Structure 1
């Protein structure tokens, strides 16, 4: 049964199989065609491949033939040129035409020596001629090198500049690039030495009353640097033309050695004639032992200026060299690693030169003398501090900051970032040390109690106050000096802020291409000035607090306490009278006006506004206390609200600062005491638009001060 089933299944597929066989029979002719076409295409590809290989072989043969022809032409040209050069160099030597002879030798040196020897071996019949030409040119090259070297030396001895330059241009034609540069640079160094010694001798012979006597050594050093710069500018084009680019680094290296020798001589004479070592020793001894010999800082003023000029000229000279060398290397070198190596070589040469060491020595002496000049000048300014009648500050502020600015700007003229940072740090140390301590110590003495009479104080003021010490009987004078020193602190903050901003822009202009490390140094120094501002602000706040304790609080307390003597249970008739007269607040405002008038002309604007802020805080705090000790009816609350508004309006009018925040609690207290119904308080306390400063407990306490509110209603109040 299973077999029959399979058989039937196969028979059922008969039609399908026959259809497939029929379709295959139709495709068979096409398969034959495809096979035939495929064989043709394969034969065509094989033929094309063979043809391409044949063409490539022909091309290779042509390239080989062309290269051989080129080599043959070059050999022929070299042989012809060799013979011409051999004949020409002999004639040039006879005629002493060294340029022409050097040109023939240069052509010979540019030939492939091994190729010439192979050519001589290949051409047996001309072997003797080629060999003799080679020998002739080799001997001529040696002879020319000897002659040109000798002629160059003779030209140097006879100081024949035209001949020196003539033979200098011949050296590279003979393959003597390094020798030529060394000899020419040695000649330039000789001329440089003669000029430098002449200038130094003239500097030593200058009279002391000459107008350039104070900067004669900086002038001498400037002439040296200008001479080297002139040499580079004049001869760099010649070197690039005849020796090729990339030779300037070697040239400057040789010139720099002579520069180092001359700089050492100039610095040695400068140290000797200006007695630098002795002055630095005196300064160091005085710093270690103040009782030792003391030098007048004025004597260092011109000297410090000369040192900064010398240092700035050296820095300018180094920048010039670096710019020229960098441009020369960029033209001659394409490899980035080699470029960096050459730049590092130049920088190492400069950093290890006697010029750099000499400038470091000068900078060290400068910083020692500048520190002494700065400290002693500031101490002197503090010691001769005076206060003029028409001035809000004493003389020490302008004097000290004039000295500080002078020293910092002088350090900037040296073009030394390290020097600038050192002097700025010195200035910060003095301002936050001696200067701030003087201000703090004077303010620590406090503001003398008693009522003011500044006109009397001015008439009693002497022309100077030594060391800030006053006689105990000079009360008015003590008040005046306290206010002056408070103003000194405020003005000093402004001066430091201005100095910080101006220094930042000036440093950026003086040092336009600072590295990240150098920028970090400058930012650190400027942050030191910001630290000085913080210290001075703390001193100013301390002085204002002293003024509050001595002059504000003792007067404000009795004036505000007078509120307790006023009856706040007011009937309708009293309400009308209070609205027109306002006796308490008018008296308080009059007293405050009298107090402020005493300070208005003597305090700076900033200090005056700060004083009003302190006065406002003191008045509001004291008034809140006395209000909480009183009881009110609604009319009394309305009067209180009006009085507080009048007081706030007055204080807001006399200052540029906002006093609204300081009156917030008082205003809300007056609002609570002036409501008609206690239920209104829930609306006030819950209002989103009002920044309520009072706690619910305080609101209930204040509401209980209304005699017309029942205690049980106050307790039931939902806040």
Structure 2
């Protein structure tokens, strides 16, 4: 049944589409549309579903309907076929009418194909012939060029050989440049080897050219040496310029380097004679020798670098000549350093310094437990022994213990620092002078000999043996000058080596700074501080009190820091500044603290019992503490001043440059932590003095001031209190009794700190005392006047804002003095609303209000 229904689909598509699948462009006839509609109405969808057939009769009926539907489809197909026959016939006729035209096109295409094949064959033959002609033309041109170049090469070689034989070096150079400009492939070719050799020049052309160039090299070298020995500047300049033009640039640089080294050796002979004379009495003798050597090299570089870089290319002086000069410098400089080690006895002094033991550790702890020595007479006498004001340093004390001589160590350090300084300045000179600027490009054109000589006619070489009288002698302190426009016209730029970093002399100087200098400088600083404490004298006539340790210690510290920075060695500066920080903390700040603690331990027993011994002990403790508290306070100021002096950026810029300057400034500023350390120690010890001497006496000031005082006053009592003014007078008397011994002997900062501590200690018990009193209206008024009078007096004793510290007492007075009408309501909130910033709490205000009668 399903198979019978299948033809419906194809029948519909057959008349709805063209054979190629495209939609037919003409409309179906109406009768066809009607039949299609009828057939669609009789689709199998109207037939019975076989799955629903359950009886024989229903099956027979369904078969009958299916037979009827099949018959209708067959009739419809026959009808459609008959109707399509006219259309098919029309299509056949149309196709038959086009056939002659297709045959005509085929014949024309055949004719064109035959004609085009003949033309293509001719064109192919012509193209191949043209390509052959082009190749022949190129080969002829190349052969012609080779023939011309070989002829030029032969002519150049013959002319070169003749010029060399005549020793006409200018012509020889011209012909050599011409021969060298020819392509090496031609020079070394078999064709050239077969054509060029003659009876006079039987070798291959490249071998002949090399032999002639080597002869020229030998002749140039010999002529240059003779010219320099005879000091013929023009002749030396002439041959010096010829080396690079004939391809012997490196050899020319080697010859010039050898010559330059002879000039350094002449200086070396003078140095050797100086070292052999045994005249090394000057404390900076060896530093001066090295300075002379560095300045001599700087002069040579200044005179000859522009000329060498001009003719050989920018950077070639540093690349080809400077290494030889630096080798000679290293050889002579190391000889000076070795003589310095031996003459100054560095190894022996270094052993003495390393074996020296300072008073510290257990020794310092034991000394701290023993009573301190009595103070010596006042310091400040002109020409005092070991005083810098008297023209001698702390290291020149007459009571030197056994150990290294501080004066000898000081001289060694000065000389070694000078050596480091001069090497650092020379190193910066090399780095600045030999640095090849970026952006210099070679245009690839070699100038002819005539052009070169014309360009250089006005620039002969300088006097090779001595500085020109027309050129000032370059000092290492002078700013390095560039080679100017001449450098920018150089043939080529080369990569520059770091000559200073590779220098053996520089490495030895750095090693001496790292081992000898840092060790001896550390010893010198510690030894000087130890001696400064040993000869320490207080100046009790000065106001404020001070001590000789202050000037001696910071004189030494300023000397050491300045000398460290003068070494021009960032590594040395970094290591020494860390050491200085440690030494100042341990050997200066902690030593002062130990002196005060030692004093306290020695007098604490005497201060426990009233009497003359207590007064003497108190006076001794006060004198020692005030003196060294002032020393700590002024030391913080001196430290800031010293760091500002030695860390001056303009001064350091003459020693360090670039990143080194920034790092050095950071290292110097890091020493500012000592200022905070000094202030911390000062605060701790001033609190110790206040706790032991002043705090116990403050309560008596209040007790005496308010003795037999009542603020419950009537008119007569108020008038009497106004006349007598007992509270203010008693307070001032008690204050001056406690503080008269400190008047003028403290520094201003320490005095303010001490008064501030006293006020902090007074005000709390003062407030507690007031909270235990009762006040009448007139008594409250009298209390307010007493508070104001005392605060005015205390404000005159210090530059601190004393009135702020009396804010709570003044607010207590304010609450007590409120009128009865003002007592109504919430006083605390009313005052807040009116803009008062309370230091009292609301509960305290209520308690104070209860004090009014």
Matched, 1:324 2:474: no
Looking at structure 2, the residues matched to 530 and 439 of structure 1 have their Cα atoms a distance apart, in angstroms, of 19
Q: Give yes or no for contact 2:196–2:205 (8 Å, CA) kept in 1.
A: no
Tell me which residue corresponds to 1:259. Answer: 329
Q: Give yes or no for contact 1:394–1:488 (8 Å, CA) kept in 2.
A: yes
Greater helix percent: which structure? 1
Q: Give yes or no for contact 1:120–1:130 (8 Å, CA) kept in 2.
A: no
Q: Deviations over 1:568-596 (max 9, x none)?
A: 21112222332343211122123324544
Q: Deviations over 1:258-317 (max 9, x none)?
A: 222222111111101011111111101114999996112121122211111111111111
Tell me which residue corresponds to 1:376. Answer: 527
Tell me which residue corresponds to 2:176. Answer: 105
Q: Shift in Å at residue 664 of structure 1?
A: 1.4
Q: Shift in Å at residue 689 of structure 1?
A: 2.0
Tell me which residue corresponds to 1:296. Answer: 405
Looking at structure 1, the residues matched to 763 and 557 of structure 2 have their Cα atoms a distance apart, in angstroms, of 43
Q: Deviations over 1:439-490 (max 9, x none)?
A: 21233334979xxxxxxxxxxxxxxxxxxxx999575454323211111111
Instruction: Using CA pairs under 8 Å that are at least 6 residues apart, name the structure with larger relative contact order, 1 or 2.
Output: 2
Q: Shift in Å at residue 397 of structure 1?
A: 0.7
Q: Shift in Å at residue 537 of structure 1?
A: 1.1
Give the TM-score taking structure 1 as reference length: 0.76
Matched, 1:588 2:731: yes
Q: Give yes or no for contact 2:577–2:667 (8 Å, CA) kept in 1.
A: no
Which of 465, 489, 494 lines up with 2:632 in the alignment? Answer: 489
Q: Shift in Å at residue 662 of structure 1?
A: 1.2
Q: Give yes or no for contact 2:573–2:664 (8 Å, CA) kept in 1.
A: no
- SS state of the match for residue 803, structure 2? coil
Tell me which residue corresponds to 2:572. Answer: 419
Tell me which residue corresponds to 1:630. Answer: 773
Q: Give yes or no for contact 1:92–1:100 (8 Å, CA) kept in 2.
A: yes
Q: Bigger CA drift: 438-447 or 697-706?
A: 438-447
Tell me which residue corresponds to 1:146. Answer: 218
| Cα-Cα RMSD | 3.9
Uncovered stretches (5+) of structure 2, i.e. residues with no partner = 1-29, 34-134, 364-400, 444-492, 605-612
Q: Bigger CA drift: 697-706 or 432-441?
A: 697-706
Uncovered stretches (5+) of structure 1, i.e. residues with no partner = 7-63, 335-340, 450-469, 709-719
Which of 658, 678, 698 lines up with 1:536 in the alignment? Answer: 678
Tell me which residue corresponds to 2:837. Answer: 691
- SS state of the match for residue 569, structure 1? coil
Q: 1:277-288 to 2 correspondence within 5 Å?
A: 277-287=347-357
Looking at structure 1, the residues matched to 235 and 715 of structure 2 have their Cα atoms a distance apart, in angstroms, of 121
Q: Shift in Å at residue 114 of structure 1?
A: 2.9
- SS state of the match for residue 693, structure 1? coil
Q: Give yes or no for contact 1:673–1:702 (8 Å, CA) kept in 2.
A: yes
Looking at structure 1, the residues matched to 142 and 774 of structure 2 have their Cα atoms a distance apart, in angstroms, of 124
Matched, 1:242 2:385: no
Q: Bigger CA drift: 89-98 or 281-290?
A: 281-290
Change (3 A) 1:515 1:117: closer
Q: Give yes or no for contact 1:89–1:101 (8 Å, CA) kept in 2.
A: yes
Which of 641, 653, 662 lines up with 1:509 in the alignment? Answer: 653
Q: Deviations over 1:651-675 (max 9, x none)?
A: 2233222112211111111222222
Q: Shift in Å at residue 116 of structure 1?
A: 6.1
Looking at structure 2, the residues matched to 70 and 297 of structure 1 have their Cα atoms a distance apart, in angstroms, of 89
Q: Bigger CA drift: 680-689 or 651-660?
A: 680-689
Aligned residues: 615
Tell me which residue corresponds to 2:269. Answer: 197
Change (3 A) 1:161 1:676: same
Looking at structure 2, the residues matched to 73 and 694 of structure 1 have their Cα atoms a distance apart, in angstroms, of 115
- SS state of the match for residue 214, structure 1? coil
Q: Deviations over 1:372-411 (max 9, x none)?
A: 1111011111111112323521110111011001010011
Tell me which residue corresponds to 2:508. Answer: 358
Give the TM-score taking structure 2 as reference length: 0.65
Matched, 1:656 2:799: yes
Q: Give yes or no for contact 1:497–1:533 (8 Å, CA) kept in 2.
A: yes
Looking at structure 1, the residues matched to 196 and 675 of structure 2 have their Cα atoms a distance apart, in angstroms, of 94
Looking at structure 2, the residues matched to 409 and 526 of structure 1 have their Cα atoms a distance apart, in angstroms, of 14
Q: Shift in Å at residue 330 of structure 1?
A: 5.8
Tell me which residue corresponds to 1:85. Answer: 156
Tell me which residue corresponds to 2:555. Answer: 402
- SS state of the match for residue 546, structure 2? coil
The structure that has the greater radius of gyration is 2
Q: Shift in Å at residue 239 of structure 1?
A: 1.3
Q: Bigger CA drift: 368-377 or 70-79?
A: 70-79
Tell me which residue corresponds to 1:313. Answer: 422
Q: Deviations over 1:667-716 (max 9, x none)?
A: 1112222222232624555346222112222222222222x2xxxxxxxx
- SS state of the match for residue 799, structure 2? coil
Tell me which residue corresponds to 1:346. Answer: 497
Tell me which residue corresponds to 1:442. Answer: 595
Q: Shift in Å at residue 255 of structure 1?
A: 1.9
